[in-house]
Protein backbone atom coordinates (compact mmCIF):
# COMPACT_ATOMS: atom_id res chain seq x y z
CA UNK A 1 0.00 0.00 0.00
CA UNK A 2 3.03 2.22 0.04
CA UNK A 3 3.61 4.75 -2.67
CA UNK A 4 6.94 6.16 -3.71
CA UNK A 5 7.44 9.87 -4.02
CA UNK A 6 7.55 9.48 -7.78
CA UNK A 7 4.27 7.59 -7.82
CA UNK A 8 2.65 10.24 -5.68
CA UNK A 9 3.82 12.97 -8.00
CA UNK A 10 2.60 11.02 -10.97
CA UNK A 11 -0.90 10.79 -9.51
CA UNK A 12 -1.03 14.48 -8.79
CA UNK A 13 0.33 15.47 -12.17
CA UNK A 14 -2.17 13.23 -13.89
CA UNK A 15 -5.19 14.74 -12.18
CA UNK A 16 -3.79 18.22 -12.70
CA UNK A 17 -3.47 17.57 -16.40
CA UNK A 18 -7.01 16.19 -16.49
CA UNK A 19 -8.45 19.28 -14.86
CA UNK A 20 -6.40 21.74 -16.84
CA UNK A 21 -7.30 19.89 -20.02
CA UNK A 22 -10.98 20.44 -19.39
CA UNK A 23 -10.34 24.03 -18.38
CA UNK A 24 -8.32 24.92 -21.45
CA UNK A 25 -10.84 23.29 -23.72
CA UNK A 26 -13.55 25.44 -22.13
CA UNK A 27 -15.41 22.32 -21.04
CA UNK A 28 -15.50 22.87 -17.28
CA UNK A 29 -19.08 23.94 -16.84
CA UNK A 30 -20.32 21.33 -19.24
CA UNK A 31 -18.36 18.69 -17.41
CA UNK A 32 -20.04 19.38 -14.10
CA UNK A 33 -23.19 17.39 -13.39
CA UNK A 34 -26.22 19.67 -13.55
CA UNK A 35 -27.31 18.78 -10.06
CA UNK A 36 -24.03 20.02 -8.67
CA UNK A 37 -24.26 23.44 -10.17
CA UNK A 38 -26.23 24.89 -7.33
CA UNK A 39 -24.11 23.22 -4.70
CA UNK A 40 -21.87 26.09 -3.79
CA UNK A 41 -19.01 25.29 -1.55
CA UNK A 42 -19.02 28.57 0.24
CA UNK A 43 -21.79 30.98 1.09
CA UNK A 44 -21.74 34.70 1.29
CA UNK A 45 -24.55 36.55 2.92
CA UNK A 46 -22.78 38.50 5.58
CA UNK A 47 -21.70 35.28 7.20
CA UNK A 48 -19.81 32.32 5.96
CA UNK A 49 -19.90 28.65 5.83
CA UNK A 50 -16.54 27.86 4.48
CA UNK A 51 -15.31 24.76 2.82
CA UNK A 52 -11.97 23.10 3.43
CA UNK A 53 -9.91 25.69 1.63
CA UNK A 54 -6.29 24.98 2.25
CA UNK A 55 -4.91 28.38 1.41
CA UNK A 56 -6.57 30.81 3.78
CA UNK A 57 -7.30 28.25 6.40
CA UNK A 58 -4.26 26.11 6.59
CA UNK A 59 -1.56 28.14 4.92
CA UNK A 60 -2.41 31.57 6.29
CA UNK A 61 -4.23 30.76 9.44
CA UNK A 62 -3.65 27.14 10.21
CA UNK A 63 -7.26 26.34 10.93
CA UNK A 64 -10.73 25.77 9.69
CA UNK A 65 -13.31 28.03 10.91
CA UNK A 66 -16.79 29.35 10.71
CA UNK A 67 -17.30 33.04 11.21
CA UNK A 68 -20.73 32.76 12.71
CA UNK A 69 -20.33 31.93 16.34
CA UNK A 70 -23.38 29.81 16.42
CA UNK A 71 -23.11 27.16 13.74
CA UNK A 72 -26.80 26.62 13.98
CA UNK A 73 -27.38 30.21 13.08
CA UNK A 74 -24.97 30.03 10.19
CA UNK A 75 -26.81 27.14 8.63
CA UNK A 76 -30.12 28.89 8.95
CA UNK A 77 -29.00 31.64 6.62
CA UNK A 78 -30.70 31.37 3.29
CA UNK A 79 -32.78 28.43 4.42
CA UNK A 80 -35.83 30.50 5.16
CA UNK A 81 -37.95 28.38 2.92
CA UNK A 82 -41.40 28.17 4.49
CA UNK A 83 -41.79 24.62 3.23
CA UNK A 84 -39.23 23.43 5.70
CA UNK A 85 -40.73 25.07 8.72
CA UNK A 86 -44.13 23.52 9.01
CA UNK A 87 -44.17 24.00 12.74
CA UNK A 88 -46.37 21.04 13.51
CA UNK A 89 -43.62 18.82 14.77
CA UNK A 90 -44.10 16.54 17.71
CA UNK A 91 -41.56 16.36 20.43
CA UNK A 92 -41.44 12.80 21.53
CA UNK A 93 -40.25 12.04 24.98
CA UNK A 94 -39.41 8.43 25.31
CA UNK A 95 -37.92 6.71 28.30
CA UNK A 96 -34.50 5.62 27.16
CA UNK A 97 -31.91 4.24 29.49
CA UNK A 98 -28.79 6.27 29.66
CA UNK A 99 -25.58 4.42 28.99
CA UNK A 100 -22.31 6.27 28.73
CA UNK A 101 -21.24 6.72 25.20
CA UNK A 102 -24.42 5.34 23.68
CA UNK A 103 -26.86 8.07 24.58
Partner 1 sequence: MTKHIKENSEFLVEHFFRNEYGKMVAVISKYVDIETAEDIAQDTLLTAVEYWQHNGIPVNPQAWLYTTAKNKSLNRLRKNKFEREYQNQVKEEDLDTLEFTDQLIGDEQLRIMLACCHPAISEETQVTLILKILCGFSISEIASAFYTSNEAINKRLARGRDKLKKNGLNLERTHNLNSNQEVILKTIYLLFNEGYFPARENQVVRKEFCSEAIRLTEILVASEKLKPKNNAHALLALMCLNCSRFEARINNVNEIIEMERQDRTLWNQELLNKGLRHLNEAQKNDSISKYLILASISANHGIAQKYEHTNWSEILALYDALLTLENSAIVKLNRLVAYAKVKGSKAAISKLLKLKGLATNHLYYSTLAALYKDISDHPEAIKYYEKAISLVSNNRDKAFLTTKLNAVVPISNSHV
Nearest to 49 by CA among 69, 73, 74: 74
| 96 scored as a contact of partner 1 (CB under 8 A) | yes
Is the Cβ–Cβ distance between 70 and 77 less than 8 Å? no
| Residue 48, strand partner residues | 44
Q: Minimum Å distance from CB 12 to partner 1? A: 5
Q: Minimum Å distance from CB 17 to partner 1? A: 9
CA distances 58 to 15, 53, 55, 63, 102, Å, are 22, 8, 6, 5, 34
Q: Give me the 1-30 binding string for partner 1, x by CB under 8 A, dash otherwise.
A: xxx-x--xx-xx-xxx-xxx-xx---xxx-
Q: Minimum Å distance from CB 78 to partner 1? A: 10
CA dihedral 33, 39, 40, 46 (to 10 degrees): 160
- Tell me how many residues contact partner 1 (CB under 8 A): 75
Q: Site residues for partner 1, window 67-86 (CB under 8 A)?
A: 67, 69-72, 75-76, 79, 81, 83-84, 86
Q: Give me the 29-68 binding string for partner 1, x by CB under 8 A, dash otherwise.
A: x-xxx-xx--xxxx-x-xxxxxxxxxxxxxxxxxxxxxx-
Amino acid sequence: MKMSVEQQQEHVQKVGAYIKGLFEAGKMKAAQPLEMEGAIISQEQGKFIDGPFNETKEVISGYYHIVADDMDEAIEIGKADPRFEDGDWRLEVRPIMKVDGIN
